[in-house]
Structure 1
Amino acid sequence: MLRRQGRGGKFLEEVLIVGGLLLVQCVLSGYVVFTDHLLALGADPLAVVVVAGAAYAAFCFPFAVALERKRWPSTVSGTLVAQYLLIALGGTTAFQALMLLGIKKTTPAIASAMPNLSPGLIFIVAACFRLERFDRACKYTQAKMAGTVVCLAGALAMGFLHSPTSTSSSLQAAAGGGDYYYDWILGCCCLVAAVTVFALVTVLQAATLAAFPAPLTMCCATSATGAALTAVLRLVLEGRFLGMGSPRIDATLVAGIVVLGGAAVGACMAFQAWCLGRKGPLFVSVFGPVQTVCTAILSAALLRQVLSLGRYISMLCCA
């Protein structure tokens, strides 16, 4: 009887994790499309990172206090502080800034396709640190390797088979010859760099949660620290601290950043962090292709970005 109850509880947890991760990718795809609209209106990518990170930390803080306060250590070690700083610098400042710049230079569909490179990178890094099992004779390892290759093919196809007709209107207006292709290459390079940072941060998060299992606390602390670091970086690079970078960004759009970037994305990131501790970094990352498909569909429906035949093929590869 107890065994049946244990199996039933484990099955429900598996269903919750899989269903939740699918929903997370759908929510994140909506945020990517919304962010592309903000950037098209002239929003400063660093300002978006600061506002979203601060809202994200404010959303997670009361839940972290209520649910994880008993897990907080009496003394904080230097190793934990260093891990949190690296996660904040990489996951909030570097990753989001590079990702937003990549979205601005390319399209939301391409930006959501590039993270499909992360399972391969995460698998390699996690295997090196023995967070994932690697045995070439094991069928599960072979399946992971095959899935990584297919996702890699889909992500590359989204970039190479992307036709000029599928570009957003803002890019079409700016396309004056070589500048358009230069921006496209620069955007893709930023996205690849962002994915590399994301893979490293994901593995570091999994290692941190193994030693200190408090995902909400980690999300809150790293988001607040990352927002502060990004604000300082913006002050150094641009000489300003306040403002969204464009008079076209009104209070309604800022509220959208707070709600989507703070509450919705905050809940998604906290859930993903919990899944990292339960299932490992590779399992969480393999749901990324769902975001690619959802973003491509939303971009076509809301932003009127035409899906070419190449992108249909690459979407199937990603899925």
Structure 2
Amino acid sequence: MNYLMTKIMEQKSASYVSHLFMVLVQLGYTLLYFVTEASLNHGMSPHVYVTYRNLVAAVVMFPFAYFLERNERPKLTFCLFMEIFVLSLLGISVPLNMYFASLNYTNPTFLASMVNTIASLSFIIAVALRFEVVDLRNPRGVAKVLGTVISLAGVLIMSLYKGPVMRNLWRPLIHIPGKSAANNESWLKGSVLTVSSCIMWSVWFIMQAATLKRYPAQLSLTTWMGFVGAAQSAVYTVIVEHNSSAWSLGLNIDLWSTIYGGVVASGLIVYLQLWCTEKEGPVFVTMFNPLCTILVAALAYFIFGEKLYLGSIIGALIVTIGLYLLLWGKENDQKLCMKTKEKSQCGGEDPECTI
């Protein structure tokens, strides 16, 4: 019994740390949106940005991964490297290129809102792959299905309905040189790019959980994905970016956004997400996304004077409601799973737990 209580206390302590890490992750992402938008508006190619950002992340994380995980890092086989290659393709090079390219057609508030759909999309993919079991005979299963449907309805509203612009209450406190207002066609194009990137990230989060079981070295995995993702993005950028001057960086916002994106977003944040994914699971990592949406919307409207559209606000609220319905069902599933494991360790029956 003492052993069981000790394990429960350790799990609670790790849970508190996971919550703190995920709050820090969302704060880091919030600043990333505006730094990146300023850089892209300045004229930096989003594809060059993604390439440099991941290269910076890999270089910064390499010494930590090499020295701190030298005794924990499993041998890198060819099959494992190919798995990392696919992970980098699905979670680093392709979706990041699409995601930041869509910033040219939309705005930070829209992008931050759309990220909330990753939990619902991950749930759908997990059910399709039979990683997740849905029982419509209990409220938990109904909540997960209903939350997913509501979230996707919010996505459709944000993508197809732009709506009127909300009037700013005062002049922006911090001015970011802006781009011309996007028309409906550009908005739809940006929506398609954003949704596509979110679908790929949903697959990526599920794959991460499986890869970490075979390669439980978060720093090393982060470093490898940085190097491989940068190489993949570089190949793509060479094909689509024919202006050689796009690769040059001066002492301006382009350089600072690349350093911030590499060190914080593609380095520290990816490592913290991997750590939390291993401890709490992929759904836990996505449940904090609404915090970033709220922070981005508040800063965009009150500080940076960004345009807020009624469709984005309505859609974001609907997506958030659906997300927390889904997470309520998921959380109760995890509590039930924990109780069955406790009964099993106390000598009771060992019921099957499929969570």
Alignment of 1:112-123 (within 5 A): 112-123=112-123
**Is 1:144 paired with 2:147?**
no
**Is 1:197 paired with 2:225?**
no
| Structure (1/2) with the larger helix percentage | 1
Shift of 1:99: 0.1
Cα distance per residue 1:8-39 (max 9 Å; x no partner): 32212111112221221121121012111111
Partners of 1:234 and 1:241 within 8 A in 2: no
Shift of 1:311: 4.2
SS at match of 1:132: coil
Q: 1:216: which partner in 2?
A: 219
Alignment of 1:68-107 (within 5 A): 68-74=69-75, 76-107=76-107
Cα distance per residue 1:51-94 (max 9 Å; x no partner): 110111122212212332222234x3332111111111221211
Partners of 2:125 and 2:203 within 8 A in 1: yes
- The normalised TM-score by structure 1 is 0.86
Query: Could you tell me how far apart the structure 1 residues matched to 2:148 and 2:20 are?
Result: 21
Report the more deviating stretch, 12-21 or 221-230.
Answer: 12-21
Q: 2:325: which partner in 1?
A: none
Shift of 1:4: 4.3
Q: 1:25: which partner in 2?
A: 26
Q: 2:186: which partner in 1?
A: 183
Q: Look up the equivalent residue of 1:198 and give its one-letter code.
A: W
Query: Could you tell me how far apart the structure 2 residues matched to 1:241 and 1:88 are?
Result: 25
**Is 1:235 paired with 2:238?**
yes
Task: Tell me the matched-pair count.
Answer: 310
Partners of 2:41 and 2:177 within 8 A in 1: no
Query: Could you tell me how far apart the structure 2 residues matched to 1:193 and 1:37 are?
Result: 23
Q: Look up the equivalent residue of 2:238 and give its one-letter code.
A: L
Cα distance per residue 1:208-260 (max 9 Å; x no partner): 11221112211110111111121122112223566347xxx632324422432
Report the more deviating stretch, 231-240 or 142-151.
Answer: 142-151
Q: Look up the equivalent residue of 2:200 and give its one-letter code.
A: V
Quickly say closer, same or farther: Cα 1:275–1:142, change in 2 above 3 A: farther
Q: 2:349: which partner in 1?
A: none
Q: Look up the equivalent residue of 2:12 and give its one-letter code.
A: F
Query: Could you tell me how far apart the structure 1 residues matched to 2:77 and 2:56 are?
Result: 27
- The normalised TM-score by structure 2 is 0.78
Q: CA RMSD in A?
A: 2.6
Percent of matched pairs sharing the same residue: 26
Query: Could you tell me how far apart the structure 2 residues matched to 1:135 and 1:143 are?
Result: 10
Alignment of 1:151-162 (within 5 A): 151-162=151-162
Query: Could you tell me how far apart the structure 2 residues matched to 1:182 and 1:169 are?
Result: 22
Partners of 1:215 and 1:274 within 8 A in 2: yes
**Structure 1 residue ranges, 4+ long, deviating more than 6 angstroms after superposition:** none
Shift of 1:197: 1.1
Query: Could you tell me how far apart the structure 2 residues matched to 1:314 and 1:181 are?
Result: 16
Q: Look up the equivalent residue of 2:205 and give its one-letter code.
A: T
Partners of 1:114 and 1:156 within 8 A in 2: no
Query: Could you tell me how far apart the structure 2 residues matched to 1:218 and 1:212 are?
Result: 8
Quickly say closer, same or farther: Cα 1:29–1:146, change in 2 above 3 A: farther
SS at match of 1:251: coil
Which structure would you say has the larger Rg? 2
Q: Look up the equivalent residue of 1:231 and give its one-letter code.
A: A
Quickly say closer, same or farther: Cα 1:36–1:254, change in 2 above 3 A: closer
Cα distance per residue 1:134-183 (max 9 Å; x no partner): 33335444443344344334444444453353599845x355xxxx2221
Shift of 1:6: 3.4
Quickly say closer, same or farther: Cα 1:69–1:92, change in 2 above 3 A: same
Q: Look up the equivalent residue of 2:144 and give its one-letter code.
A: K
Query: Could you tell me how far apart the structure 2 residues matched to 1:198 and 1:93 are?
Result: 11
Query: Could you tell me how far apart the structure 2 residues matched to 1:174 and 1:315 are?
Result: 20
Alignment of 1:29-44 (within 5 A): 29-44=30-45
SS at match of 1:19: helix
Quickly say closer, same or farther: Cα 1:148–1:66, change in 2 above 3 A: farther
Q: Look up the equivalent residue of 1:229 and give its one-letter code.
A: Q
Quickly say closer, same or farther: Cα 1:192–1:308, change in 2 above 3 A: closer
Shift of 1:46: 0.6
Query: Could you tell me how far apart the structure 2 residues matched to 1:316 and 1:67 are?
Result: 42
